[in-house]
Amino acid sequence: MTSTTADSLNHSLLHQLLEQGAIDIQATDLFDSAPSPLPAGVSFSKVEGMLLGLAVGDALGITSEGFLPADRREFFGEIRDYLPNRYNGREEGYPSDDTQLAFWALEQMLEDGGLDPDRVAARFCQDRIFGLGSTVRGFLKSYKGGTRPWWRCGPQSAGNGALMRIAPMLVPHLQDPSPELWVDTALCAAITHNDSASIAACVAFISMLWELLGMSEAPEPQWWVDAYVRVAKELEHREDYRPRGGDFPDYQGSLWRFVEEKVPAAFERDLTTLEACESWYSGAYLLETVPCVLYILMCHGDDAEAAMMRAVNDTRDNDTIAAIVGAAVGALHGREALPDRWVDKLTGRTTDSDDGRVFELIEQARRGWWESA
């Protein structure tokens, strides 16, 4: 299948799913609007930084995932590098599901010349997933059952399992931006999480990454919230999300409105990232993950290392939050902003034994979707 054919099919499929109410987002003109071309002179280093930032953030966090920040600090102190891993006890960067699913999607798109959602869904089922979450487990069970099309296999879940892997979706569109960037992102998100907040968050984050690739310096702090809300509020339609912990137990509404109300308010109060992230609980639910990501970037978006360190040390679901933050600061600042000690000790695995695969896929993407154009 050529990329042009895939784009046409995906565009038609998304509009069909929207008409049928089979994908949990609102129809919007965004899906017929192309992003602006990237400025002349943008270096592939920024794309590489985005992809490596995701993998490095995941690897920095996975060895202490799920700890309360206070307990993590008591056990490990301030984490600045990889901790000894469970495979061989070495201080090297190993992946969890964040890296695996992101780079398996990239791998499949490289093979197919673009996004074929059914083939990406099948790729997610081929190898063992490390740290498998309940929503993806539900997707795997439904898809492997073989009785449903892929778009009926993703549970309605506002977990962060789609957002954590979504960054590679912009890579096939780098040199030829079109509305299919948003189409492909929505479809890919819905593979595992067919949920209004999740799909909206994925499209909003891809829009932010696209803008970050074109920036030469860090944006003003409020930009992070404004850029997210501008896109997400067009797509979200559910108003029944509620916090499961933290300081806002009475909130009920959309994710985008929670972000708009709570994140700038925390910034105005000059809360530390730890204080702010604790206030909305900092777990794997999007009402926790997205505010943490945006607040960390508001405070530390001008410093890639500092931003990733705060994600790793100050949150509960720290591997995923660091992966998302890492993708953002990598896209903004480029590969050069990621400390060599992190990249050099990253194994680059996506399975039990494919060391270096992450680096190979990035190089294939460079040749296929950057240099060839």
pLDDT, position 6: 63
Tell me whether residue 144 is exposed, middle or buried, using C-beta atoms within 10 angstroms of its C-beta: 0 to 12, 13 to 18, 19 or more: exposed
Dihedral (C-alpha) 272, 274, 279, 284: value to the nearest 10 degrees? 140
Whole-angstrom distance, CA of residue 312 vs CA of residue 317: 8
CB atoms within 10 A of CB 28: 17
pTM of the model: 0.97
Whole-angstrom distance, CA of residue 290 vs CA of residue 107: 26
Task: For the chain, list residues with pLDDT below 70.
Answer: 1-7, 373
> Nearest 5°: phi and psi at 346?
-80, 120
Amino acid in position 367: R
Q: Which of 10, 81, 66 is nearest to 309 (CA)?
A: 81
- Boundaries of every domain in the chain: 25-371
Rg (CA), the chain: 19
pLDDT, position 202: 98
**3-state secondary structure at position 36:** coil
Using one digit for the tens of pLDDT, what is the confidence trace for 15-26? Answer: 999 999 999 999
pLDDT, position 1: 47
Alpha helices in the chain (DSSP H): 3-20, 44-62, 69-76, 97-112, 117-123, 134-145, 180-192, 196-213, 221-235, 255-268, 273-279, 286-300, 304-314, 318-333, 340-344, 357-366
pLDDT, position 198: 98
As given in the structure block, the two tokens for residue 148 are 């449903």
pLDDT, position 89: 87
Planar angle of CA 47, 51, 55, nearest 5 degrees: 160
25-371: what fold?
ADP-ribosylglycohydrolase fold (1.10.4080)
pLDDT, position 85: 86
Using one digit for the tens of pLDDT, what is the confidence trace for 116-148? Answer: 999 999 999 999 999 989 999 999 999 999 999
Whole-angstrom distance, CA of residue 319 vs CA of residue 54: 9
